[in-house]
Amino acid sequence: MPNYPDEVALSNAVNHLSHLPPLVTSWEIEALKGELAEAAEGRRFVLQGGDCSENFDECQSSTIAGKLKILLQMSVVLIHGSRRPVTRVGRFAGQYAKPRSKDEETKDGVTLPSYRGDLVNRAEFTPESRIPNPDLLLRGYYNAALTLNFIRSLIDGGFADLHHPEYWELDFVKHASKSAEYESLVADITSSVNFLENVSGKPISDFSRVEFYTSHEGLHLLYEQAQTRQVPRREGWYNLSTHFPWIGDRTRNLKEAHIEYFRGIQNPIGVKVGPTMEPDELIALIDALNPKDEPGRLMLIHRFGDQKITDHLPNLIGKVMSAKKSVTWCCDPMHGNTETAGNYKTRNFTKILSELEQAFDVHQKAGSVLGGVHFELTGENVTECTGGARGLNAEDLARDYRTQVDPRLNYEQALEMALLIAQRMKA
């Protein structure tokens, strides 16, 4: 928890937040839980993605629409490759609080508290900006509400026409070594979409309602708690700030507060699982968070790094399978592959893909199901991750590096990643 210097202001903000209307509903939350249960059995696939850290200044129409567009387009590619329905979960409308490895940051001999996400303090490197400010909890809520409102209207208003490959920006394809394969996959998708429209006599956007679910790391417990409510005709407590909150790799200690809070809510929840997780600890965690073994309740989002995944994942899967626990497995190939290049934190496309391919292999070999993937990405062509069809290298990073926390796949890299996963799933 951040140290708020003004406790009265903090308690006023939390009190105010606890009286504002919810952002999502319990029936949407239960619907997602059902979908995650299907994904655990291989009847559905989950695509979760968005910024590492949303920021208030980017609560703008173009940024939000861009994120929605890339997620929708990736999902179409994945539906085609996996031959399964795809559940889309955005890391948006609340992804404002960040865990940090260090409490302080030093620049040119000056040491200040670390930036911990716009929900807590501001990124600017000045003493005033870095003081935790309770008003930001309310601004976070309002920005989440604005974001979600726009997303819901876009979806209702036919934005889903972006299903059509004509709307995709596929310029990068010609730079890829696999360009012929990409082109044939896109041609295949185009003909499937056209076929569906001809047979049904309706545009594809009328065909089925496109759903987007929201998610964020449930890090700031006061923010989460203030929006945790009881609802009529259902038992228990719902976190109504998001459909799918998750517990980060740094806050999943069994004896600590996040587990205590999360075990008391009805939402489907995620837990990030990194290299320090021991198999017995994982079983204890599953027992604490899902004592009734409810399908769809728990998604384990593993993130080891391309060099470490085969050392850790097989044992964890083996343990979960022999204990007969129902979980939905998801691979986050981003967080274990962070590296530094000069002044920049970056990630390499080939390593990200390699962790993902190894995840498919390990699950297949163990007889378990990889039910989803989790990416940090953006709809714009920023230069934060290296590699991909255009071969971005360390020198290119300076050109358009915008993230304040972790590096994201850009539009082209994200779409290419989806094409590669689709090919793999089809095979």
Which residues are near ligand PEP by CB under 6 A?
A: 52, 99, 217, 248-250, 272, 303, 335, 406
Phi first, then psi: what are they for 15, rounded to 5°?
A: -65, -45
Residue 99 binding target from Co ion, ligand PEP, none, CB below 5 to 8 Å by type: ligand PEP
Q: Residue 38 has which token pair?
A: 């299907």
Q: Among residues 306 and 406, whose Cβ is nearest to ligand PEP?
A: 406
Q: Among residues 80 and 303, whose Cβ is nearest to Co ion?
A: 303
Q: Among residues 99 and 279, whose Cβ is nearest to ligand PEP?
A: 99
Sole window of 46-54, 106-114, 248-256, 277-285 interacting with Co ion (rule: CB under 5 A): 46-54
Sole window of 52-60, 161-169, 261-269, 377-385 interacting with Co ion (rule: CB under 5 A): 52-60
Residue 384 binding target from Co ion, ligand PEP, none, CB below 5 to 8 Å by type: none
Give yes or no for residue 52 binding Co ion (CB under 5 A).
Answer: yes
- The helix (H) or strand (E) run that includes residue 8 is helix 7-17
Helix residue spans in 96-237 (DSSP H): 135-156, 179-200, 204-207, 221-226
Cα dihedral 74, 80, 81, 87, rounded to 10, equals 50
Q: Are 105 and 418 in contact (CB under 8 A)?
A: no
Contacts of 255 (CB under 8 A, 6+ apart): none
DSSP state of 102: -
Query: Please, is 91 exposed, middle or buried when counting C-beta atoms within 10 Å of its C-beta (0-12, 13-18, 19+)?
Result: buried
Q: Among residues 238 and 246, whose Cβ is nearest to ligand PEP?
A: 246
Q: Among residues 10 and 309, whose Cβ is nearest to ligand PEP?
A: 309
Residue 248 binding target from Co ion, ligand PEP, none, CB below 5 to 8 Å by type: ligand PEP
**Nearest residue by C-beta to ligand PEP?**
248
Give yes or no for residue 384 binding Co ion (CB under 5 A).
Answer: no
Residue 272 binding target from Co ion, ligand PEP, none, CB below 5 to 8 Å by type: ligand PEP
Residues β-bridged to residue 405: none
Q: Are 2 and 136 in contact (CB under 8 A)?
A: no
Q: Are 9 and 296 in contact (CB under 8 A)?
A: no
Residue 236 in 3-state DSSP?
coil
**Rounded to the nearest whole angstrom, what is the least distance from the CB of residue 248 to Co ion in the complex?**
9
Give yes or no for residue 406 binding Co ion (CB under 5 A).
Answer: yes
- The helix (H) or strand (E) run that includes residue 57 is none
**Rounded to the nearest whole angstrom, what is the least distance from the CB of residue 271 to ligand PEP in the complex?**
9
Q: Among residues 116 and 335, whose Cβ is nearest to ligand PEP?
A: 335
Give yes or no for residue 306 binding Co ion (CB under 5 A).
Answer: no
Interaction site with Co ion (CB under 5 A): 52, 406
